Amino acid sequence: EVDVDLHLIRLTSDGWECIARNHHLLDMSLAPGTYYFVVDTWVDARAVEHGGPYQFVVLRCDSDDEACND
């Protein structure tokens, strides 16, 4: 029943920009800079929040790491 969304955002000269969002996983390479992650609880049409426990993990992958080059 837990439904949280992950958003990757950054602040630009024009304001906040959402780079990507997904329900479970964001898998991408990022240029050097400052980024922010937001974990947002989904609220359905009946105003029921679907929050709950989750695990948030950020992994850095080196370019020669075969596990990250799939």
pLDDT tens for 8-42 read 999 999 999 999 999 888 888 888 899 999 999 98
pTM, entire model: 0.74
Using the predicted structure, report yes or no on whether residue 70 has a pLDDT greater than 60.
Answer: no
User: Do residues 47 and 30 make contact, with C-beta atoms less than 8 angstroms apart?
Assistant: no
Q: How far is CA 32 from the centre of its chain?
A: 17
Q: How far is CA 44 from the centre of its chain?
A: 20
pLDDT reported for residue 69: 63
Write b or e for each residue in 2-21: b if 16 or more Cβ atoms lie within 10 A of its Cβ, otherwise e.
eebebebeeeeeeeeeeeee
Q: Indicate whether 7 pLDDT > 90.
A: yes
* 39 in Cβ contact with 5 (< 8 Å): yes
pLDDT band at 6 (very low <50, low <70, confident <90, very high): very high
| More confident: 45 or 66 | 45
